[in-house]
Amino acid sequence: MTVADVRAFNRFYTGVIGILDNAYLDSPYSLTEVRVLFELSTGTAETAALRTGLGLDAGYLSRILARFDREGLITRAASPGDARRQVVGLTDAGRAVLTDLDARSNAEIGALLDRVPPADRTALVGAMRRIRRLLTGADRAYLLRPPRPGDLGWVVHRHGVRYAEEHGYDWTFEALVARVVADYAEHHDPHREAAWIAEVDGEPAGSIFCVRASEDTAQLRLLLVEPQARGLGIGKRLVEECVRFARRAGYRRIVLETVSDVAVAQGIYRRAGFTPVAERPVRKWGADVVEETWALDL
């Protein structure tokens, strides 16, 4: 990414949303004036705080407030704590103007999103969140949720890609994942089986399934965390949710099948209370692997 790339994107996006127009949304107000109204929408504010929060020149803000005062959009009063400071708030007329502008903005953005295929809107919003996070240095956050349409296909695809890239497995591993997912989708009992998708920046970044192995035993399956989402504690949280669900569902034991060369995942299992109970060297998925069974009494 270069300075020229960022500037090119800025030119593109400001053109898309009309930020360079003198009037905001065909109203009598500029974007800066609307920002001042918006800052006052939650209550009164001192002019000094407005100036600092919006990064405005004192003279420019003074001219904006003078206009709003003439049009009856704001109230002005001395600060109760310091008569030298001025407190500004919106009048009913000011709130009406802001409400109208807010409705216009929603309609304009809605029309913009209508041109984006539904399948791409989540990616678009996720990219916007990622830009904000990267530029502000905010911590990455994630959420766990049930699978939505398209997520099961994502689980199959990403397992195939990740295990091919990181372990050299062939397409037969992806076929195994597809069978597990298809069986879950067609036959799972919601009272005794569940699945979770971890989402980061609006996009899937991890998965886990809790399925029935027998009447008394649950099985943890398809734990995955994408490389860009590792280090956030997602794997630990997914395993905890799976174990918690198994307990609530009335299972007395939970097991999982893994391989010996996934040290990070094994560390998560061990910290959750799982212990290895069996291992067997086999040739499968185009590789020589040591399959391991781990178990946890609930």
Say which residue the tokens 């499968």 belong to.
284
Is there a contact between 183 and 195 (Cβ–Cβ < 8 Å)?
no
Its pTM stands at 0.65
Mean residue pLDDT of the chain comes to 89
Task: Please give the structure tokens belonging to residue 104.
Answer: 């216009």
Cβ burial, residue 275 (10 Å; 0-12/13-18/19+): exposed
d(Cα 96, Cα 193) in Å, to the nearest integer? 51
- Read off the pLDDT of residues 27-45 as tens digits, 9 standing for 90 and up: 888 888 888 888 888 888 8
What is the DSSP secondary structure assignment for residue 90, as one 8-state letter? E
Side chain identity, residue 231: G
CA distance 192 to 11: 53
Are the C-beta atoms of residues 287 and 268 closer than 8 Å to each other?
no
pLDDT number for residue 191: 95
Q: Is 129 left (phi over 0), alpha (psi -120 to 50) or beta?
A: alpha
Give the range among 227-231, 248-252, 268-272 with minimum mean pLDDT: 227-231
**pLDDT value of position 21:** 59
pLDDT for position 283: 93
Please determine, for residue 8, whether its predicted confidence score (pLDDT) is greater than 70: yes
For 212, the enclosing helix (H) or strand (E) is strand 203-212
Q: Is 175 a residue whose pLDDT tops 70?
A: yes
**Backbone phi and psi for residue 10, each to the nearest 5 degrees, phi listed first:** -60, -45
Residues with Cβ within 8 Å of residue 275, at least 6 apart in sequence: 294, 295, 296
- Enumerate domains of the chain plus CATH numbers: 3-115 (1.10.10.10), 142-297 (3.40.630.30)
The whole-number average pLDDT for the span 187-216 is 94
pLDDT at 207 over 80: yes
